[in-house]
């Protein structure tokens, strides 16, 4: 196939599902009728009594009613697309529509029922059958499965289901998902297993599978690489990628009353879908030079499929019942617009990221390595045999000798070594040490031999494994049943093609009819002309009314959309205001500025990030510790260190601000207050005591306890025994104290003459 540079439109088909049990039980009216022949969907408005409002008619590439079979859809609509993927085009199939209208049914269908299998399993069968029938071509098929939920990408085949992946862009290959796993598959069963694993992971982590799938987009990607000898004698690789997309439900997400997380969720869920709508509008508009692909993950990822170099089919799913009429009309309008997108499909020939090329090169390299090994082995074998003088006419074996020969060789070598070992064991003439040494040597040789053999086997196995992943066809092409089946398929395709052509012709006839009506007419009388023209006028008037109604509907839909957006904007503005308020009032200006200075927008990830705290701009290394901080917990100035040593000032106690000096306990006793004695009594006492002194009592006992100096006592002054009575300094200063040493010669008191009153 030659490179096709011409543009083609996105193909849009509509499928209406049957009424379900509930709808039938509730006796809902069916408002959708499907004209398969003409490719038209006719929707009546259930509210107004039909007279005033005409039914709405939409025309599509093809339409399918409730009786449509999965295989019909596949043969007519999807098979040509998958075929072109096998030729190296990129292809995309979208399923769009309200939740519960059959998107998943169309994409996956009922897994165990061959009749009701959807596009994805049917395409598996198609791809691998194609490969098995091919000749002189090598294929490599791999599959990935991902999900976009709330603008986060999850790899459904990864073990780590928590991890979120990022989108990256390369100038030569475009947008891709970084670190997305892809599995090379060799058969229908293998690729089915991949799909099942993905589906299981999809339902894990979501409490309500239906709700989750209606809010997330699932994309199954099959990449088919094909290598073929070109006319120039070189191998050429073509890579086709098939994206099978089960979109989130298109119904309006209710945002009323949602706050915080819930609001964020609601605004994010349909972000990808509304971005998809905007991209479609921009593409169809023709005037806008900017296509907002970057607004969402989905549109970025599928950029190629919308106005790019891929072939695209969009399946719009609708429900027939009256209560769904609004959503049905929205879906039909949406897909009606998508019809006008123009793509420029192009074959991807010899792309840089073809995995097949790497595989082929690796296999060639391994084979060469294997060959080298076997060459070495043979040479060694010969040398050994020659050295031992054994059978020397067994010479050069061809390089093409196969595994059998190989096995023989190893066995032979092993047996020989074994025999030699036995001989050593049995040879009693050898000294024990010598024998041990020889045995060890032999054992080592055997070990080496074994290891070499294992390495060789491993290499061979690796080559085999890699080769088995490369699929080649042409093996059972003469198979009779296969042939019959092929004929059948061919016939089915022919029929599908015929149907398609018929429909196109019908549509053309329909539109020409109106144009040529006038040209063909020749009027025999004025009255006839009036009649015919009146009829035509009526027809045109009806058309005008239909268009007017359509305009009105679209305006209404726009107003709704706008109100929705305005509401979202209001909520978000309110949220923003609250955050501003918090920042203004609770975050110091200095801190705020620091954060503002560190924050930057990462274009790659489309996310705000923080620069690391460092003053060395270009070097991403943290600042080193200042010299003054060596030995301290934190940097200290010289002054501070000196001050810390000199005085106990809190100001510089950065390291240890707790003072650990001992604190005296609070006092629990009182000062001693001696009893106040009346002067008279005191004087009497004084006198009495002095008399005792004069009576010359031997008080040597007292003196010895008071002090060594006898002169103090000899001075004749009063020395009362101090022991037993606490004396404080205070007491001595009390002027009233009768015991004060200053008091003896006081003139205030009469000198008493003894205890006995006169
Ligand atoms: P969606 O993925 O759009 O939310 P589903 O594919 O889960 O919707 O379809 C909802 C239900 O309708 C399923 O039980 C499915 O089997 C049934 N259904 C949808 N389309 C058809 C159809 N064309 N024929 C028969 N049953 C259908
Ligand atoms: Mg679904």
DSSP 38-72: TTEEEE--SSS-TTSSPPEEEE-SEEE-TT--HHH
Q: Return the pLDDT at 221.
A: 94
Burial 255-294 (b: 16+ CB within 10 A, else e): beebeeeebeebbbbbbbbbbbbbbbebbbeeeeeebebb
The residue among 34, 26, 123 whose CA lies nearest residue 71 is: 123
215 CB under 6 A from ligand 1? no
**What's the whole-model pTM score?**
0.68
Proximal ligand: closest to the CA of 19 = 1
The residue among 316, 342, 344, 275 whose CA lies nearest residue 93 is: 316
Q: Return the pLDDT at 119.
A: 93
Closest ligand 1 atom to 107 CA: 6
User: Which residues neighbour 74 within 8 Å (Cβ) at sequence distance 6 or greater?
Assistant: 119, 122, 123, 126
Bridge partners, residue 315, by sequence: 13, 95
Q: Return the pLDDT at 195.
A: 92
96 CB under 6 A from ligand 1? no
Q: In a 10 Å sphere around its CB, with 0-12 CB exposed, 13-18 middle and 19+ buried, how is residue 649 labelled?
A: exposed
The two structure tokens encoding residue 269: 């869920």
- Can you tell me which residue has the tokens 């092409």? 477
What is the distance in A from the centroid of ligand 2 to the CA of 100?
7
| 3-state SS assignment for residue 646 | helix
Determine the number of helices (DSSP H) and then strands (DSSP E) in the chain: 22, 19
Average pLDDT over all residues of the chain: 78
Q: Return the pLDDT at 622.
A: 59
217 CB under 6 A from ligand 1? no
Q: Return the pLDDT at 459.
A: 84
Residues of the chain short of pLDDT 70, as ranges, are 1-5, 48-53, 204-210, 253-267, 269, 375-407, 474-482, 514-523, 605-606, 614-629, 648, 653-659, 661, 691-758
Q: Return the pLDDT at 727.
A: 45
The residue among 101, 67, 123, 354 whose CA lies nearest residue 227 is: 354
What is the distance in A from the centroid of ligand 1 to the CA of 498?
28
The residue whose CA has the least distance to atom 23 of ligand 1 is 17
What is the distance in A from the centroid of ligand 1 to the CA of 321?
14
Closest ligand 1 atom to 20 CA: 12
User: Which residues neighbour 202 within 8 Å (Cβ) at sequence distance 6 or greater?
Assistant: 147, 156, 209, 212, 213, 218
Q: Return the pLDDT at 395.
A: 34
């Amino acid at each position: 196939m030659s490179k096709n540079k011409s543009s083609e439109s996105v193909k849009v088909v509509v499928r209406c599902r049957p009424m379900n049990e509930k709808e039938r039980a509730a006796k809902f009216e069916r408002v959708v009728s499907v004209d398969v022949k003409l490719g038209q969907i006719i929707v009546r408005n259930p509210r107004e009594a039909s007279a005033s409002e005409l039914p709405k008619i939409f025309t599509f590439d093809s339409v399918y009613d409730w009786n449509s079979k999965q295989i019909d859809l596949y043969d007519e609509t999807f098979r040509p697309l998958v075929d072109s993927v096998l030729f190296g085009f990129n292809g995309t199939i979208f399923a769009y529509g309200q939740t519960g209208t059959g998107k998943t049914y169309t994409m996956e269908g009922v897994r165990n029922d061959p009749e009701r299998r959807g596009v994805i399993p049917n395409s598996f069968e198609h791809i691998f059958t194609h490969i098995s029938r091919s000749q002189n071509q090598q294929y490599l098929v791999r599959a990935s499965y991902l999900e976009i939920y709330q603008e986060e990408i999850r790899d459904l085949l990864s073990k780590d289901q928590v991890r979120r992946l990022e989108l990256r862009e390369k100038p030569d290959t475009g947008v891709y998902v970084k670190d997305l796993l892809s599995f090379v598959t060799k058969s229908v069963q293998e690729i089915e297993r991949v799909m099942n694993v993905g589906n299981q992971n999809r339902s894990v982590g979501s409490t309500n599978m239906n709700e989750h799938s209606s809010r997330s987009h699932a994309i199954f990607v099959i990449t088919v690489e094909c290598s073929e000898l070109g006319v120039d004698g070189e191998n050429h690789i073509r890579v086709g990628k098939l994206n099978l997309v089960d979109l989130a439900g298109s119904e309006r997400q209710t945002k009323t009353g949602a706050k915080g997380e819930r609001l964020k969720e609601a605004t994010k869920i349909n972000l990808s879908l509304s971005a998809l709508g905007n991209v479609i509008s921009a593409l169809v508009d023709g005037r806008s030079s900017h296509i907002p692909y970057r607004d969402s993950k989905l549109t970025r990822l599928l950029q190629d499929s919308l106005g790019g170099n891929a072939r695209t089919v969009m399946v719009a799913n609708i429900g027939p019942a009256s209560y769904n009429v609004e959503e049905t009309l929205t879906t039909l309008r949406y897909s009606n617009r998508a019809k006008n997108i123009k793509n420029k499909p192009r074959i991807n020939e010899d792309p840089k990221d073809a995995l097949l090329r790497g595989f082929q090169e690796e296999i060639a390299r391994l084979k060469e390595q294997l060959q080298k090994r076997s060459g070495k082995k043979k040479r060694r074998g010969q040398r050994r045999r020659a050295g031992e003088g054994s059978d020397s006419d067994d010479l050069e074996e061809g390089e093409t000798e196969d595994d059998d020969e190989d096995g023989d060789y190893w066995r032979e070598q092993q047996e020989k070594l074994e025999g030699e070992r036995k001989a050593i064991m049995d040879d009693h003439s050898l000294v024990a040490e010598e024998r041990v040494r020889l045995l060890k040597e032999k054992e080592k040789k055997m070990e080496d031999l074994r290891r070499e053999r294992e390495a060789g086997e491993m290499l061979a196995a690796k080559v085999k494994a890699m080769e088995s992943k490369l699929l080649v066809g042409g093996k059972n092409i003469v198979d009779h049943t296969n042939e019959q089946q092929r004929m059948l398929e061919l016939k089915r395709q022919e029929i599908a093609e015929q149907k398609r052509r018929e429909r196109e012709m019908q549509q053309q006839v329909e539109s020409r009819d109106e144009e040529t009506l006038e040209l063909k007419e020749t009027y025999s009388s004025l009255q006839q002309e009036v009649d015919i023209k009146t009829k035509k006028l009526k027809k045109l008037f009806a058309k005008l009314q239909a268009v007017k109604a359509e305009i009105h509907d679209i305006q209404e839909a726009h107003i709704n959309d706008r109100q929705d957006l305005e509401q979202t904007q209001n909520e978000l503005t309110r949220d923003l205001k609250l955050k501003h308020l918090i920042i203004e009032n609770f975050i110091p200006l200095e801190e705020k500025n620091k954060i503002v200075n560190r924050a930057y927008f990462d274009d790659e990830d489309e996310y705000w990030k923080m620069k690391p705290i460092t003053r060395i701009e270009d070097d991403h290394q943290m600042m080193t510790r200042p010299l003054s901080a060596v030995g301290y917990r934190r940097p200290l100035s010289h002054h501070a260190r000196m001050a810390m040593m000199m005085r106990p000032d809190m100001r510089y106690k950065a390291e240890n601000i707790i003072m650990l000096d001992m604190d005296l306990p609070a006092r629990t006793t009182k000062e001693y207050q001696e009893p106040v004695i009346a002067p008279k009594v005191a004087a009497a006492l004084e006198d009495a005591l002095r008399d005792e002194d004069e009576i010359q009592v031997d008080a040597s006992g007292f003196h010895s306890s008071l002090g060594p100096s006898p002169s103090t006592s000899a001075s004749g002054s009063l020395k009362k025994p101090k022991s037993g009575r606490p004396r404080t300094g205070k007491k001595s200063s009390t002027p009233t104290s009768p015991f004060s040493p200053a008091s003896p010669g006081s003139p205030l008191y009469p000198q008493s003459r003894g205890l006995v009153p006169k």
